[in-house]
A and B are shown apart, each in its own frame.
Chain A
Amino acid sequence: MSEDKRTDRKGDLSGAVMVVGAGIAGMQCSLDLANAGFLVHLVDRDISIGGNMAQLDKTFPTNDCSTCMISPKLIDVASNPNIRILSRSEVTGLEGEPGDFKVKVHKAPRFIDLDVCSGCGECIKACPVEVPADFNLGLNKRKAIYRHFPQAIPSAFAIDKIGSSPCKVACPANVSAQGYVALIAQGRYKEALALVRRDNPLPAVCGRICTRPCESQCSRCDLDEPIAVRDLKKFLADWEVKQGEMDLPKVKEKRPEKIAVIGSGPAGLSAAYYLALEGYQPTIFEALPVAGGMLRVGIPAFRLPREVLEYEIDYIKAAGVEIRLNSPIGRELSLEDLREQGFEAVFMSVGAHKGLRLGVDGENLPGVLSGVDFLRQASLGRAACPGDRVVVLGGGNVAIDAARTALRLGSREVTILYRRTRHEMPAYEEEIEEALEEGIKIEYLVAPRRFIADGRQVNGLEVIGMELGEPDESGRRRPQPVAGSERVIPIDGAISAIGQEPDLDFLEPKTDLKADRRSRLLANPLTLQTSIPWVFAGGDAVTGPASAIEAIAMGKEAAISIGRYIRGEDLAAGRQREWSVAKVETKGLDKKSRRRPPLAEPTGRVRNFDEVVGVFDEAEAQAEAQRCLSCGVCSECYQCLEVCQAGAIRHDMSAQDIELRVGSLVLAPGFKPFDATQKPEYGYGRYPNVLTSLQFERVLSASGPFGGHVQRPSDGREPKRIAWIQCVGSRDASIGHDFCSYVCCMYATKQAIIAQEHAAGLEASIFYMDIRAQGKGFDRYYERAKKDHGVRYVRSMLSRVIEDPTSHDLEVQYFDEANNLVSERFDMVVLSVGLAPHPAAKALVEAVGVETDVFGFAKRQELNPLATSKEGVFVCGAFQAPRDIPDTVMQASGAAAEAGALLAQARGSEIRPEEFPPERDIRGEEPRIGVYVCHCGINIGGVVDVPAVVEYAKGLPHVVEAQEFLFTCSTDSQGQMARFIEEHQLNRVVVASCSPRTHESLFRDTLRRAGLNPYLFEMANIRDQCSWVHAKDHDAATAKAKDLVRMSVARAALLEPLHQFPAPVEQTALVIGGGPAGLTAALNLAEQGFYTHLVEKSDQLGGLARRLRRTLEGFDVQAWLSELEDKVRHNGLIKIHLQTEVVEIKGHVGQFKASLKSGDRVRSVAHGAVVVATGAEEYQPTEFLAQEDERVTTQLALHEALHGQGDPLAGVRDVVMIQCVGSRDEEHPYCSRICCSQAVANALRIKELNPDIEVTVLFRDIRTFSLKELYYKQARDKGVRFVRFDAERPPQVSPGAEGLEVLVFDQILGEWLSFRADRLVLSAAVRPNAETKHLAGALKLPLDSDGFFMEAHLKLRPVDFVNSGFFLAGGAHGPKFLEECISQAKAAAARAATILAQKEMMVGGEVAVVDGERCVACLTCVRSCPYGVPQLNEEGVVYIDPAACHGCGICASQCPRKLIQVQHHSDLQTLFKACHLRA
């Protein structure tokens, strides 16, 4: 986008950017943008940021701890006021245009309030639900409420809830069945029972007679049998009785309102109970002499023992419910009377106690009974034996109960007659079974016609046979009489149990209470309010005969309505619930049979009314509960609510869809490791000891599933032999993953080294095709792994992995280099899985509307590596192509530069400055020191006795408080530290943990947030310089840690507050080098609005790129370069200095002065930041006749020729290329990264020009990493020959008349092969150039051991120099492809912009100060300062400019009178520390 276009649109440009994906790429990009004045919305799907890097144990090639690196970054992101993290969020739509987008974001609920959660972790202990830990790739379990790792940001926990469990939704009372089942599984019966009672006050009753709709919906029905939910509930209720202590209900403050409940059945009882809990005063009026309604007089005692019901009624009474027996409502006590007595509302729950009539002749004969009457009389002890031979008419539970009761009352022959078949019978299967066991007969397809009497007493029943016709409205097939099938059954008694209905005879005829034809009271289905506003109704009286649990549910709802009615609130508001039902996939799960409680012996049990069904013992209950599949993940057991002190849990939180306005988007959705089950030959998912590499990272990690102990999942044994299998999901066309995943060779090498550290004597073997060690320091690392660590590298083609099923050992079968099939046995196999685009990226690209390639990576845009197909939307990281961390970080900063350039005009428009609490004045206070010692997982705690160090610290002078932390850098530890500072009024803090280089700024910020000056902080490095380096001597390491803490405490006592002050920033950039990197950096800086000096020592721009025609991918370099050059030349903010050298840079970050020398003229330019992009050069080889024979050339020269004029291949038949010329040797032990691809590109070009030419590439490893692999494959497909040689036996070249003779030693054949060549092409190394060496000296910039510039940190600061204000880009940093130079140049520009965007920056602090009073102006300091900062001022004393002082302290130690002190590093502070060397 051109400058003008942007200016035009200034008004509607947004100053905000959305970064999607919060892995290391997203975080770096966000930080750079936020620090350059843009508001960032950082969106991630997961509950915390950090991405894949957070899961890594160590990183290659330095073995730095990944967590240690990433956690300060996490905190930087979290504490940056310009970054807003949207976790658990996804982009769902994009509208608008670059500079002014509207993004739709879907925020899934976290169920925990981010602002309230303190991260204490109490909820984890309370949660009963265990699921495979995703962060540990399923190697262990985590809870449904969780956090991925202690340092996670946001630090708040989250709940995984994918809906409500089907059992809960199916239950009319919505009891959290999954919840109490989960609690039972953990043996937490008291909590489980309390959870039931939350929604159902009758657990013992329902544990026996519930119709258990929950079980019918259980997900296990799809697999085997449902969980025995009812039996588990019974177990719980009985457990409490057995314990002997009733868990009394907690009742709210008493309220004056009285409520009448008519009927003491389940509906009345539960309504009264829940009203009582709210503090109301309910009174139950019961007509009968016993309480319980149908539970008491409808269900026989052998199913529901009386004492069980009594217990539950007592429980309800304990809540404050009064029950008045023998108190019928009717003539003596009318509804109006109740009103007059002060009852504010009435709940009618009178049940359905009136039996339905058969409507046949003889129904009124003596001996013909109604089922409900019979059961009631029996329950009240008033029933006699109904006769020797009894028939029961009906097929429901009442029929079965009546039949079994008759048996127990002495009937000899009891027959149930049912007019349909057993299939239609509504009674429960077990009840039917139990009845049959007891000797009851059931006849199906018979209906009564008339009762026959012998005199007054019934003695026969005429029945007729039935058959099933068409289904009726109930869906059951309608029975129809079969003509002529009449017969008479001789009987002594009959019980009719075909149904019942409410008996409303007690109501006054004139009542306003309305009922339907079948005497059912009419009530609003949601509120249960009747036609009389103050009267509510529920239970069977409203529904007709239904289940107890339905009645309970209605009673509970009625209590809510009545409460609202009394308080004058809307009865209906918010009560319509919509459920999202969670259902789990049961495919592939193991079957486990359901447990059944014991039953009493049939012969014995029919003689009494004792309970028939037994109860689980504890072991059975737990085992049954463990069958639960945790459908909803969260079981909604609400245990977390109980323990959360902060009150952060929100189970009713719902998803939100929001819209945000941003000017640009950066997509960084990252990768997901390849799914290894797609390669079944390796046995992943079937063999327990076959792990993926990411799983193995977790195995190695101290915070992983095994606490850092390397062990086999099958038996916990430490493996002795581990095999790594490379390229699983990479370089594999069979699964559509043709590309190389870039990082696997190095991470396998790292894992092998680290695993050996963890498990002494471990043999590590890596099975590979090519070792791709193309990054900085990689080859050295690889060599060290081979030589120092004895890691075995086996070049091979893997066949398969077979498991020994008894030992779970693994046999790896492979073809070696000579193509022999070899088999080896290992204890463990690690699959080096490749990187695939994250599946979530698919939805993202659809929502945003950008294009992807065949693999799903973002489609590449010419030489614009960070652009997508959509303008204003940028991309970085592994979603662009597989890459490692430094390259990802570079791209991330580069993407920030792109967005920054687009939105330069709106910079600063949406941000706010960071605020800290006012600083506490500690003047005059005695030192009060707090000491915090870190375990760092096991990094420190595994070696140093941390508790001993803490105890020791407590005894040191001025120490008022000492604590240990598992991870001191975690957010909750930080929070605790801030609280301790407050609580103990600390005025100095010492942290003993890792290195101040990485963590001091973090802890200083903690002090600031706690109101302390950040300089009142001191750190003891007991990890990097103690536990890690004295790992074997625990005592000595502990003693050393104590010494270091003592020394730090001593210094801390002398620390003073220190303040910085603002100094202006020269908002101008200096870019050194006019090659592609320098041009790109300069242009981006200018586009970001910063005036830029571009210095080039030669007389033209373009650098090495001038010699490049096409990239491997076919992009036209010259067209791109001339366009770039054109833009640079015409940008008004860029001043080009050709034939100019930088001789010196003085000053400091934000305020530099560079001396630019052009010819004899030297001019000085002011600037605030520097980008060094001086490039590299191609090595000019001397080997292989390079300087002697003109047929020998280099890849670069060949490239130029192949794209040049004329016929470069005239007369050429054979071309031979030799790789690694000047690379990977003793003197230059690094890989030049680009040459393999250069060779492939040239080979392809030759084949394009003349397919008949034979091209042979002699190589050691082909390193066409990432998507460049596709071209390697293309070259092979086109017939290019690749022949491997060993470094020990390099090829030999001799001249000949018929072409050069090239000999190469073939490892497999064990002999020299000869090739003739018309052209011998040397893949010459990339070397640092003279300019780099010169600048390193002139500007004091550090070089690495290969002579390239050294970055501040290999992984996370790949474009920064240690020297603040200096940034690097391009070949000067190391060998690079053109598109990588471009990305890095943009990255450097973004990093520089973080400085240049500020008008002023804070200076001073740790600088030298002169005691002017006593200075005698001897000028020693003036002479000794390397920067010439001290100056004699007008008063004749020396003055040191705090903005210019570097703080090195050379002047201070030279001052003969000791009148110069470096603040925060005074002599006394240092000496005092040294003085405490010995205890």
Chain B
Amino acid sequence: MPEKYEPLIIAFICTYCTYTAADMAGSMRLQYPPNVRVVKLLCTGKVDVLYLLEAFNCGADVVMVSGCEIGDCHFLEGNLRAKERVEYAKTLLDELGLGAERLEMFHIGASDAPKWAAAVETMTRRALELGPNPVGRKRPLPAIEEQIGDLMP
């Protein structure tokens, strides 16, 4: 393993539960690895397989999705949809050779800050075990780049 490998984790999390828990982890000063980058969504129901693949494409070593506890989704069933899509994306990752274990779905309630810290811990450890994402293009897919056009750096 190269010495400089510092894994990057992207986390798509929902506002009402996991994001609240993540904020609460801050209030409680729970300490967890600094490798995670959060993208806040209103609901994990918004998670698209495209997001997951693109995250890997852009250099994430592992990706996590975290929504409300099963049955507690603020939007009734968004977390269930997310779960389905994560499952599907995992099969794609296996097919691609990246490996399904680079992607994980969590369910963390708003008051469960320790669970969030533990989830980040778990995924960081996993990223270290799996090593760097071999794709790591660090640029968006051409289709996205085209849409963004002038705004591209």
Q: Is the CB of B42 within 8 A of A1472?
A: no
Closest A residue to B48 by beta carbon equals: A1453
| B78: A residues at CB distance < 8 A | 1426, 1448-1450
Q: Is the CB of A1030 within 8 A of B81?
A: no
8 Å CB interface, B26-77 against A: 26-32, 34, 37-43, 45-48, 50-51, 54-55, 58-60, 71-77
Expressed in whole angstroms, the minimum distance between the Cβ of A1264 and any Cβ of chain B is 28
Q: Is the CB of A1450 within 8 A of B75?
A: yes
B82-110 interface bits toward A, Cβ cutoff 8 Å, 1 = contact, 0 = none: 00010000000000000000000000011
| A65: B residues at CB distance < 8 A | 27
A1040 at the interface (CB under 8 A from B): yes
B148 at the interface (CB under 8 A from A): yes
Q: Is the CB of B8 within 8 A of A1477?
A: yes
| A1021: B residues at CB distance < 8 A | 23, 38
| B75: A residues at CB distance < 8 A | 1426, 1446, 1448, 1450
Q: How far is the CA of A1054 from the CA of B38 in the complex (A)?
A: 18
Q: Is the CB of B41 within 8 A of A1470?
A: yes
Q: Is the CB of B117 within 8 A of A1029?
A: yes
A485-498 interface bits toward B, Cβ cutoff 8 Å, 1 = contact, 0 = none: 00000000000000
| B151: A residues at CB distance < 8 A | 927, 957-958, 1053-1054, 1472
| B24: A residues at CB distance < 8 A | 62
The answer to whether A1452 and B34 touch (CB under 8 A), given A1054-B148, A1474-B55, is no
Q: Is the CB of A1029 within 8 A of B55?
A: no
A944-984 interface bits toward B, Cβ cutoff 8 Å, 1 = contact, 0 = none: 00000000000011100000000000000000000000000
A1319-1358 interface bits toward B, Cβ cutoff 8 Å, 1 = contact, 0 = none: 0000000000000000001001010110000100000000
A1434-1448 interface bits toward B, Cβ cutoff 8 Å, 1 = contact, 0 = none: 000000000000111
B131 at the interface (CB under 8 A from A): no
Complex partner residue of B46 from A1054, A1342, A1345, A1450, CB under 8 angstroms: A1450
Q: Is the CB of B40 within 8 A of A996?
A: yes
The answer to whether A1025 and B45 touch (CB under 8 A), given A1471-B54, A1471-B144, A1472-B148, is no
21 CB-based A-B contacts, threshold 8 Å: A65-B27, A997-B20, A1021-B38, A1024-B22, A1025-B25, A1025-B26, A1029-B29, A1040-B37, A1054-B148, A1340-B76, A1344-B111, A1447-B42, A1448-B42, A1450-B81, A1468-B144, A1470-B41, A1473-B39, A1474-B55, A1475-B58, A1477-B8, A1477-B10
3 cross-chain pairs, A with B, having the tightest CB-CB distances, nearest first: A1024-B26, A1449-B46, A1448-B75
Known: A1448-B46, A1474-B55. 4 other contacts (CB 8 A): A1345-B111, A1426-B77, A1454-B81, A1472-B144
A887 at the interface (CB under 8 A from B): no
Closest B residue to A1452 by beta carbon equals: B46
Expressed in whole angstroms, the minimum distance between the Cβ of B116 and any Cβ of chain A is 9
Expressed in whole angstroms, the minimum distance between the Cβ of A913 and any Cβ of chain B is 29
Expressed in whole angstroms, the minimum distance between the Cβ of B135 and any Cβ of chain A is 12
Closest B residue to A1408 by beta carbon equals: B46
| A1362: B residues at CB distance < 8 A | 16, 74, 110
Q: Is the CB of B30 within 8 A of A1044?
A: no
Q: Is the CB of B50 within 8 A of A1477?
A: no
Q: How far is the CA of A757 from the CA of B20 in the complex (A)?
A: 22
Complex partner residue of B148 from A995, A1363, A1450, A1468, CB under 8 angstroms: A1468
Residue of B24, B45, B51, B55 with most chain A CB atoms under a 10 A cut-off: B45
Expressed in whole angstroms, the minimum distance between the Cβ of B80 and any Cβ of chain A is 9
Q: Is the CB of A1044 within 8 A of B37?
A: yes
Q: Is the CB of A1028 within 8 A of B144?
A: no
B125 at the interface (CB under 8 A from A): no
Residue of A1029, A1043, A1053, A1363 with most chain B CB atoms under a 10 A cut-off: A1029
8 Å CB interface, B100-153 against A: 109-111, 117, 136, 138-140, 144, 147-148, 151, 153
The answer to whether A1449 and B45 touch (CB under 8 A), given A62-B27, A1472-B144, is yes
| B27: A residues at CB distance < 8 A | 62-65, 1024, 1028
Residue of A1043, A1047, A1426 with most chain B CB atoms under a 10 A cut-off: A1426
Q: Is the CB of B22 within 8 A of A1477?
A: no
| B40: A residues at CB distance < 8 A | 996
Q: Is the CB of A1029 within 8 A of B147?
A: no
The answer to whether A1475 and B140 touch (CB under 8 A), given A997-B20, A1024-B27, is yes
Complex partner residue of A1465 from B32, B42, B148, CB under 8 angstroms: B42
A1031 at the interface (CB under 8 A from B): yes
Q: Is the CB of B41 within 8 A of A757?
A: no
Complex partner residue of B110 from A1025, A1053, A1350, A1426, CB under 8 angstroms: A1350
Closest B residue to A1032 by beta carbon equals: B31
**Residues of A in contact with B, size category:** 35 or more
| B117: A residues at CB distance < 8 A | 1029
Q: How far is the CA of A1315 from the CA of B3 in the complex (A)?
A: 69
Q: How far is the CA of A1290 from the CA of B10 in the complex (A)?
A: 49
Q: How far is the CA of A1033 from the CA of B51 in the complex (A)?
A: 30
Complex partner residue of B29 from A757, A996, A1427, CB under 8 angstroms: A757
Q: How far is the CA of A1344 from the CA of B110 in the complex (A)?
A: 9
Q: Is the CB of A1029 within 8 A of B25?
A: yes
A1406 at the interface (CB under 8 A from B): yes
A686 at the interface (CB under 8 A from B): no
| B111: A residues at CB distance < 8 A | 1344-1345, 1350
Q: How far is the CA of A1175 from the CA of B83 in the complex (A)?
A: 35
Q: Is the CB of A1406 within 8 A of B29?
A: no
Q: How far is the CA of A996 from the CA of B10 in the complex (A)?
A: 18
Q: How far is the CA of A1406 from the CA of B75 in the complex (A)?
A: 14
Expressed in whole angstroms, the minimum distance between the Cβ of B1 and any Cβ of chain A is 18
Q: How far is the CA of A1448 from the CA of B15 in the complex (A)?
A: 10
A1462 at the interface (CB under 8 A from B): yes
Q: How far is the CA of A1446 from the CA of B19 in the complex (A)?
A: 18
Residue of A995, A1452, A1465, A1471 with most chain B CB atoms under a 10 A cut-off: A1471
Q: How far is the CA of A1049 from the CA of B19 in the complex (A)?
A: 20
Q: Is the CB of B55 within 8 A of A1477?
A: yes
Q: How far is the CA of A1453 from the CA of B52 in the complex (A)?
A: 12
Q: Is the CB of A1424 within 8 A of B81?
A: yes
| A1454: B residues at CB distance < 8 A | 81
A569-609 interface bits toward B, Cβ cutoff 8 Å, 1 = contact, 0 = none: 00000000000000000000000000000000000000000
Expressed in whole angstroms, the minimum distance between the Cβ of B54 and any Cβ of chain A is 5
Q: Is the CB of B46 within 8 A of A995?
A: no
A787 at the interface (CB under 8 A from B): no
Q: Is the CB of A1033 within 8 A of B34?
A: yes
Closest B residue to A1053 by beta carbon equals: B151
| A1030: B residues at CB distance < 8 A | 31-32, 34
A1130-1151 interface bits toward B, Cβ cutoff 8 Å, 1 = contact, 0 = none: 0000000000000000000000
A49-90 interface bits toward B, Cβ cutoff 8 Å, 1 = contact, 0 = none: 000000000000011110000000000000000000000000
Q: How far is the CA of A65 from the CA of B29 in the complex (A)?
A: 11
Residue of B37, B55, B72, B117 with most chain A CB atoms under a 10 A cut-off: B37
Q: Is the CB of A1025 within 8 A of B34?
A: no
Q: Is the CB of A1475 within 8 A of B26?
A: no
Expressed in whole angstroms, the minimum distance between the Cβ of A60 and any Cβ of chain B is 11
Closest B residue to A1362 by beta carbon equals: B16
A331 at the interface (CB under 8 A from B): no
Q: Is the CB of A1450 within 8 A of B77?
A: yes
8 Å CB interface, A1205-1254 against B: none
Closest B residue to A64 by beta carbon equals: B27
| B147: A residues at CB distance < 8 A | 1468
Expressed in whole angstroms, the minimum distance between the Cβ of B30 and any Cβ of chain A is 6
Q: How far is the CA of A65 from the CA of B140 in the complex (A)?
A: 39
Q: How far is the CA of A63 from the CA of B29 in the complex (A)?
A: 9
Expressed in whole angstroms, the minimum distance between the Cβ of A1000 and any Cβ of chain B is 10
A438 at the interface (CB under 8 A from B): no
Q: Is the CB of B37 within 8 A of A1047?
A: yes
8 Å CB interface, A1347-1391 against B: 1350, 1362-1363
Residue of B24, B27, B43 with most chain A CB atoms under a 10 A cut-off: B27
| B51: A residues at CB distance < 8 A | 1467, 1470-1471, 1474
Q: How far is the CA of A1447 from the CA of B55 in the complex (A)?
A: 23
